[in-house]
Amino acid sequence: MSERKTLSLGFPSFCLGDLSYVDIQEYLKYSDTILIPHASLEQHGPHLPLYCDTITAQEVAGRAGEQAGILYTPTLWLGYSPQHMRDAGFGAGTITLRSSTLMNVIYDIGRSLIHHGFNRLIFVNGHGSNVKVIDPVLRRLRYETGALIGFYKPYAERYIGMLKDVLEGTVEQTPGWHAGELETAQCLAHNPALVRMDRASVDKAHAPKWLGPAWEKKDGMPDAEFQGYQYFNFPFDHQEFTDSGVMGVPEMGTAEKGEIAFQRFSQYLIDAVEELEKVEVHVTNRDWTVDKAWQPS
C-alpha cells in the first residue's frame, strides 16, 4: 500500500468530509475503495466515555486512511445498543437505533457511495452488537449492485487474535471485553483526559439471576452455558449480567497497549485493502437518484 498513487494527490486529509467533490473525482481516478467507520454511543462503565467503540472505529479507519491514502467517511457514531439502555430515568446516556433504522442508514450510505463511483466498501465496525442486525443490508448492497462489501471487526472479545502478546489478562478476566483491559487501553491511547481511572472497577459477567443457578455466563456474548454447553442464546440486557457495566480488569489497560492495538489493527486493514483491490469487481446497478431513495424499502 505504500506505493499507492493516491499518496501523491496532496489532499489535506483522506477523510471524505474534509474534501471537495473535485478531490473525490481525482481520488476515483486511482482507487474505488472507501472505508466507512461505524460504531455506537453507549455506556462503558463508570470510567470510560460513551464514545468508546466509536473511538476504535475512528482511530483504526483514520490511521489506515491517512497512512496508506485510502479514503474514509466521517465516523457513524449511532449503532444498535438496546441492551445498554438501562431502566427509564437511569441516565445511562446510550443512544440506540432500531435495527430497521440502522439497516436503512447503512443502506443509504452504501448506495450513495456506490452511486458516486466507489466499488469497494469496507465497513470498519467498532461495536460488536451491530453484527447482530447488519448482515441483511450488507447482502442487499452486494446483491443489488455487485459492489464488493466488506465488514471489518478490529476488536478482541472471545477472539483475541493478533493481540495475544499484548493483553495480559487471562481468559477468565475477559481482557478484550466491555470497558476492560483493551478498551481502557485504547481510550487512554486516544485521549487520557477522557478516562477516569479513579472510577474504574473490576467486574466480570455472571448469569442473570432470573435464569436460576443451573446457568453460567462468562462474557458478553448473547449466550449462556447450561450443563457445560453453550447452545442457548437470550436477548439479555447488559445490566442483567454485569453489575457495573464493566467486564475485565481496567487497571491492566495502558496507553502503550492501546497504541499497539491501533497500529496493528490499522496495518492489518491496509494489508487487507491491498489484497481486496486485486479482486475484480463489476458494479451493475450504480444509479441511485433521489426519487429512488424515497421509495419504501
SS3 289: coil
pLDDT (0 to 100) of residue 36: 98
The pLDDT, as a whole number, for residue 297 is 55
Q: What type of residue sits at position 294?
A: W
Whole-prediction pTM value?
A: 0.94
Domain borders along the chain are: 5-157+262-281
pLDDT for the residue numbered 8:
73
Please name the amino acid found at residue 141: L
Q: Is 143 exposed, middle or buried (0-12, 13-18, 19+ CB in 10 A)?
A: exposed
For residue 9, the model assigns a pLDDT of: 86
Angle at 65 between CA 136 and CA 31, to 5 degrees: 75
Encode 207-237: b = buried (16+ Cβ within 10 Å), e = exposed: bbeebeeebebbbbeebbeeeeeeeeeeebe
Residue ranges, the chain, pLDDT below 70? 1-7, 290-297
pLDDT of residue 2: 41
Q: Cα-atom radius of gyration of the chain, to the nearest Å?
A: 20
End-to-end Cα separation, the chain, in angstroms: 38
Beta-carbon-side half-sphere exposure of residue 125 (alpha carbons within 13 Å) = 21
Please count the other Cβ atoms lying within 10 Å of the Cβ belonging to residue 155.
24
- pLDDT of the residue at 15: 98
The Cβ of residue 279 has, within 10 Å, a number of other Cβ atoms equal to 10
**Distance from C-alpha of 66 to C-alpha of 12, rounded to nearest angstrom:** 10
How far, CA to CA in Å, does 137 sit from each of 112, 125, 204, 293? 14, 14, 33, 15
- How far is residue 189 from each of residues 57, 58, 195, 277, measured CA to CA in Å? 14, 13, 10, 30
**Structural fold of domain 5-157+262-281:** Rossmann fold (3.40.50)
Q: Mind giving me the DSSP string for 216-232? A: E--SSSSEEEETTEEEE
User: How deeply is 206 buried, as exposed, middle or buried, from its count of CB atoms within 10 A (0-12, 13-18, 19+)?
Assistant: middle
Please give the order of strands across the beta sheet that includes 71-72: 71-72, 33-38, 120-125, 148-152
pLDDT at 1: 37
* Confidence at residue 289, expressed as pLDDT on a 0 to 100 scale: 80
Residue with cell 478498551: 183
Beta strands in 39-106 (DSSP E): 71-72
